[in-house]
Amino acid sequence: MSAILEIRNLSAKEKAVVEAMLRFTGPVSQRDLMSKMTKAPSQASMSRIMSSLIAKQILIKEGETKGARFSLTADARRVATDPRRRTPLPYDPGRIGGYVPNQSRWLPEPAAARMRAAVDAGGGQKLDASTYSKAIAERFLVDLAWASSNLEGNTYDHLSTEVLIKYGESASGRDRMETAMILNHKAAISAMLDGLDGQFPDAHEVQRRHVLMMRDLMDASDLGAIRRTSVQITATSFRPSSDHALLVSGLSDLLAKASEIKEPFEATFVLLAGVSYLQAFGDGNKRMGRLLSNEPLLRAGLPPLSFIGVDKTPYILGLIDFYEVGSTGVLADAIVQSYETTAADYIRSITVQRIPHALELRERAGITKALGTIFRDRVPDNGILNLVLRDFQRLDDQDRDMMVAILIDTSRRASPISAFLYGVTEEDIVLRNAKNREVPPDSQES
């Protein structure tokens, strides 16, 4: 476990030892350490505590027996020291500037493997972006709006969020700012879903979404505006840049690089961590990171990252670890656990219904006529390509191949009762499919 998490899980006696260790700048003997403790434990208890801290990689031991010296690991000393007493860590332009798409990696490979496994566990179904996003839009809107707002301290529960989003009814006793936060998430998420058919968002589009995300929660002059003033992040020694030009170029650079990343999970993590690190806006940066992190997943027809089930403490500590030293393990583990919880459910939620491909809707009349010909003339699977070449000449190669697949699949699976759709008899469907099963799969029609 990372030091930033371990430090918070220590027992009272272990914490007392760590606090005493902070008073020493170099290695110290167990005897000298005990001398600085107000209520030092017995020698035997102290040895057990020290052994436990070594096992947790909080302490390093040098030497043996009476000559042994102990010191805090650099990571443990960093996270155990009050942020107000640490040396401020400035924004590093090289963190984003030095990232090379498809070469650099922020999401650890084991974490990416877990996300891929989560998709496979749900059946591994992938659909085109517009089809998938429409199928899950309502559920995703509620899930992300609630979970993301909850991470900001919003007290709306999931059901109240659903009622507000679907019916516009705010929960009684809730602060108006909490209601606005939920409705703003709805607007920003909807804008993202509507834009999936277009180009990957650039800085201007992200600024527009920030307007939607923070409406009524910031001064109107700050909505969508790249910062020109400094911001302070609590519980960390990280100091974001206040250089307006650097923030403008950093946001554009981050988005451009994310759009080039081939692996959706890596792109998702780069946006989540990068937007939060950059802090381009006066407020709402983590919300924007959570929103934008879903862009690569949805464009790839993959389940979104709703942040349902994310434990707030590891999530925030993971961001702090990334801010201060560029470590991504804690943050990755926090979001992967959430993805493992929800990914399969998103896939299963659309497998109970067949979602039509966009081509099926666009060419519905032509498909109906072609299926009538297939059933009436007993056209086997291996003759469908010729039919498509003849009747769908305006299609490009990709759509032509998709059309062949659609006609083969639909003709094979058609129920005889659906014969009236295609202007044929039930017997036509039965006889065509019976004949089709008799045709050797590798035979070709000229």
Topology of domain 3-81, CATH: Arc Repressor Mutant, subunit A (1.10.10)
**pLDDT digits over 333-384, tens only?**
999 999 999 998 888 777 655 667 788 889 999 999 999 999 999 999 999 9
Amino acid residing at 44: A
Please work out, in degrees rounded to the nearest 5, the angle formed at the alpha carbon of residue 17 by the alpha carbons of 8 and 329.
35
C-alpha–C-alpha distance, residues 65 and 351, integer Å: 64
pLDDT of residue 444: 41
Residues in the chain where the model's pLDDT stays below 50: 443-446
Q: Could you tell me which residues come within 8 angstroms of residue 393 by beta carbon, excluding any fewer than 6 positions away?
A: none
Task: State the pTM of this model.
Answer: 0.79
pLDDT in tens, 210-240: 999 999 999 999 999 999 999 999 999 999 9
Nearest CA to 407 out of 439, 373, 438 is that of 373
* Alpha-carbon dihedral sign for residues 148, 276, 334, 71: negative
Q: Find all residues with CB under 8 Å of 315, minimum gap 6, and list them.
A: 151, 331, 334, 335
In the CATH hierarchy, which top-level class contains the domain 89-351? mainly alpha
Residue 125's pLDDT is what?
62
Give me 46's structure tokens: 């102290």
